[in-house]
Structure 1
């Protein structure tokens, strides 16, 4: 049995050569903690939403007379962020459209825009409309007809549809190349409003965008549409502001939780990012009914971030070994084996969160859920430990070995297991087992999360002595340059999205709702790491999004 004096000596020795990442400070501090929920304003929004919702529902039902108009209206509901009010109606409508598809396509000579819209909306809801619907827009040489080249609306629609492809759909691969080149040219010749819309799509197509961000942007775009539906626009604006109040309240509660823990002071080496973590959780599902999911996902992801920074940027390997062993035990009795006070504080916080989860799930009769979260956390820490061991031994694993371990260190397992806590209506034991077994869609998403992080962060990580990232591992295994390694990893990202799309096509192996929320997690990752920097580490990169979603209301003009 080691004495406390011996453990203290170990810590003092480690303190002499600790690494420091020098992460940027928080942009937000305590600014959200003082939020006071405006109950009167919220109730006013609620009343207006209920009235407008019935009007919009009537419009949705009336549009069924014209298939093209109906799919356009459903698309507007999705893009404006209010489709969740009409999930059942949209589900029934799309199922009917899909079942009647052969007759619809035979009776109606839909143009490219309508076919593209039909394709994208159906596939985004899991209905696998065949890609041969685009064949009629190709000439005898197998190329897209020149008659469509000046139709920017149709070209943009085809571009957006091309991201819903699965493996083996060459026509969609060709469509992406064709439309991207044309849109880049069109953006320079279009009106400022349309040019901005095109550039946004080129940076991040709708299928890869975070729904809440996309809705806020589209509200502004749609407001300038001459043929806009003012009732629908008003509904979207008021509902956005209504839901924003709930998000501000959640962010306030979480900010106070974080401040009460005083972890920004306890762990000065770590990234202080409670607002950015909430942005991550909120991106998975923004709808009001998932408040508990967002709260738990935020808390767990914040603790994950602390452990990650501890392993990567502060702790010695001996301390890491001891902390990993303590996590395996998950018992307060293991706290004495930890050599440093800061580790004891972190360990105790994690155990308290586990206990909180067990109590909450026990009240719901879902005690099994807390066990799945705990096991997912253990798996994650084992992955972090493997990386720390590689760094300690200056070992560069093969790329394949790195990716296998990266499925755990993506942290997706913990984030989704925590999100499931607030989804009792669809996330039972069977769904947790599905998540644990790493089906194709989960593997693909985890790989994207791990490797996108590596692409933007590997240079800084190498400077501070982290283990080799996926980029370095690929370079070594395949004797490739850094540029070549990144190019090949980006191709893997494209193929992984095709795996994800395929697993979202019906019949699915998990509830569609869970699949959609997992895809949203990947979409948030694309926003965090998809602009050539690590927006979680560099919080200024997310500042505009945080302002857009949680600070600025949508202007209302009565």
Structure 2
């Protein structure tokens, strides 16, 4: 007899909301970053001077590239090595040249790379060109694994209605999975990494740290670019460690206020706002008003979730749930915190826009909330917690938890598609704003990829070590 998995009822969801308090592990780092010792001043000066020389050599390469394949290969290399931000104007000019120029539209690898880079940089190029690479059976004709991988990565810059890209992802994923075990180690690592996280969704600095040793093994590598990438990463690492030292000092001071918990925390928060306003100065201190307003939104939303928990209320639909839980994932607050500390590009109009709760930020918050809930629902229902979006979906559609997980993964993909469409849509905001929001979505994707790493931070200890402790080797 075939057993049918049980579907969810409201009592099932409510019974999962037990009142035991969750526990969290202590920090793994202690005062590690407080003891950080930077390199000697002469060594740092040499690193900085050498990096400047290499940077200008690479600039000549970017300006001098004049063939479409070479231009695309150079740009994707600089992006993956974290160097493209030094050549924004030159790359913009080259991509405009690529967009306006004829190219070999019979080369699937070239077509995929062109599509990827143009869409990533805001060009709303149509995906119809990929239809010509399908055979009579509907399969894509790809000569090799590199081409499959290029198509796979390009397809993830899809929007709603890009059917050919949806089909490309299904086809390339199955093909890449089939050949993975037979590939040589370096290419196998690239494919395995892509199957876990497509290129567009990777955190920039983490991709840089991961790609440097891969690029080092490539026969066609450019030694000047490689040396600059290593130096640049190591210099950034020095800066990050200095900042982490300052943050750790601040956290130690804050910890002294915790015994009375809420009262002292609130007073410390007010002091933090005051110190931020002082540091911003008279021309930018107004920005803190927006962060305060969004923190009020966060408090109200958290209070509503507490009420749900205490009353054992389960929202009737996942949309009702998201109206509150999108706020408690703190996406708007994180974005505002970032904007507050930025330069003159952040205007009052941008911060006013943020308080309109724009769809771009909603997409990011949806990705973060749903990704969080997939990884944390079972654990949280053991403790004192309200029903998650997973439980809500189970109740709304009378489905099993596993089925709810799969459908919510589809909703996450829909949010990525919507985000890409908004990213490609011209607005009054500088393009940098949309890029920052997409970066936050990438971070959420990484944090909740395997587990709830925000809660169980020991699961990303190796990543933290790779980024902030171990320099790249020459």
By the TM > 0.5 criterion, same fold? yes
Deviations 1:445-479 (A, max 9, x none): 11111111111111111111211111111111221
Alpha-carbon distance in 2 for matches of 1:343, 1:18: 21
Indicate the residue corresponding to 1:181 in structure 2: 174
Alpha-carbon distance in 2 for matches of 1:40, 1:377: 44
Alpha-carbon distance in 2 for matches of 1:23, 1:109: 54
Higher relative contact order (CA 8 A, sep 6+): 2
Greater alpha carbon shift after TM alignment, 84-93 vs 50-59: 84-93
Within 5 A, what are the aligned runs for 1:10-29? 20-29=21-30
1:124 aligns with 2:116: no
SS at match of 2:31: coil
Indicate the residue corresponding to 2:389 in structure 1: 470
Q: CA deviation at 1:71?
A: 1.2
Alpha-carbon distance in 2 for matches of 1:500, 1:78: 21
Alpha-carbon distance in 2 for matches of 1:261, 1:18: 29
Within 5 A, what are the aligned runs for 1:237-248? 237-248=230-241
Deviations 1:78-131 (A, max 9, x none): 011111111111122212322x14xx13xx355111111111111111111211
Q: CA deviation at 1:172?
A: 0.3
Indicate the residue corresponding to 1:373 in structure 2: 291
Indicate the residue corresponding to 1:514 in structure 2: 433
Alpha-carbon distance in 1 for matches of 2:132, 2:282: 54
Alpha-carbon distance in 1 for matches of 2:461, 2:115: 34
1:497 aligns with 2:409: no
SS at match of 1:484: helix
- Superposition TM-score, scaled by structure 2 size: 0.93
Indicate the residue corresponding to 1:443 in structure 2: 362
Alpha-carbon distance in 2 for matches of 1:46, 1:422: 25
- In 2, are the aligned partners of 1:416 and 1:518 still within 8 Å (CA)? yes
1:221 aligns with 2:140: no
- In 2, are the aligned partners of 1:377 and 1:414 still within 8 Å (CA)? yes
Q: CA deviation at 1:136?
A: 2.2
Please point out which of 441, 454, 458 is paired with 1:540: 458
Indicate the residue corresponding to 2:274 in structure 1: 355
1:85 aligns with 2:86: yes
CA-based RMSD: 1.7
Deviations 1:422-448 (A, max 9, x none): 223221111112222122211111111
Indicate the residue corresponding to 1:112 in structure 2: 108
Q: CA deviation at 1:262?
A: 2.1
Runs (5+) with no aligned partner, structure 1: 1-16, 268-340
Q: CA deviation at 1:487?
A: 1.2
Q: CA deviation at 1:508?
A: 3.2
Indicate the residue corresponding to 2:61 in structure 1: 59
SS at match of 1:234: helix
Q: CA deviation at 1:349?
A: 1.1
Deviations 1:146-174 (A, max 9, x none): xx2x5000000000001001111111001
Alpha-carbon distance in 1 for matches of 2:304, 2:425: 37
Within 5 A, what are the aligned runs for 1:407-422? 407-422=326-341
- Superposition TM-score, scaled by structure 1 size: 0.79
Alpha-carbon distance in 2 for matches of 1:117, 1:45: 33
Indicate the residue corresponding to 2:249 in structure 1: 256
Alpha-carbon distance in 1 for matches of 2:253, 2:261: 16
Greater alpha carbon shift after TM alignment, 42-51 vs 371-380: 42-51
Q: CA deviation at 1:19?
A: 5.2
- In 1, are the aligned partners of 2:19 and 2:385 still within 8 Å (CA)? no
Alpha-carbon distance in 2 for matches of 1:479, 1:73: 51
Number of aligned residue pairs: 455
SS at match of 1:266: coil
Q: CA deviation at 1:35?
A: 1.5
Q: Is the alpha carbon distance of 1:437 and 1:342 closer, same or farther for their aligned partners in structure 2, counting shifts above 3 Å? A: same
SS at match of 1:354: helix
Indicate the residue corresponding to 1:484 in structure 2: 403
Indicate the residue corresponding to 2:129 in structure 1: 133
1:389 aligns with 2:382: no
Runs (5+) with no aligned partner, structure 2: 1-17
Alpha-carbon distance in 2 for matches of 1:114, 1:86: 22
Q: CA deviation at 1:511?
A: 1.4
SS at match of 2:32: coil
Deviations 1:459-517 (A, max 9, x none): 11111121111111111122121111111111110000001111111523421111111
Alpha-carbon distance in 2 for matches of 1:352, 1:526: 33
- In 2, are the aligned partners of 1:536 and 1:542 still within 8 Å (CA)? no
Q: CA deviation at 1:43?
A: 1.7
Q: CA deviation at 1:141?
A: 4.6
- In 2, are the aligned partners of 1:127 and 1:506 still within 8 Å (CA)? no
Alpha-carbon distance in 2 for matches of 1:209, 1:544: 17
1:153 aligns with 2:154: no
- In 1, are the aligned partners of 2:20 and 2:382 still within 8 Å (CA)? no
Q: CA deviation at 1:60?
A: 1.0
Q: Is the alpha carbon distance of 1:454 and 1:181 closer, same or farther for their aligned partners in structure 2, counting shifts above 3 Å? A: same
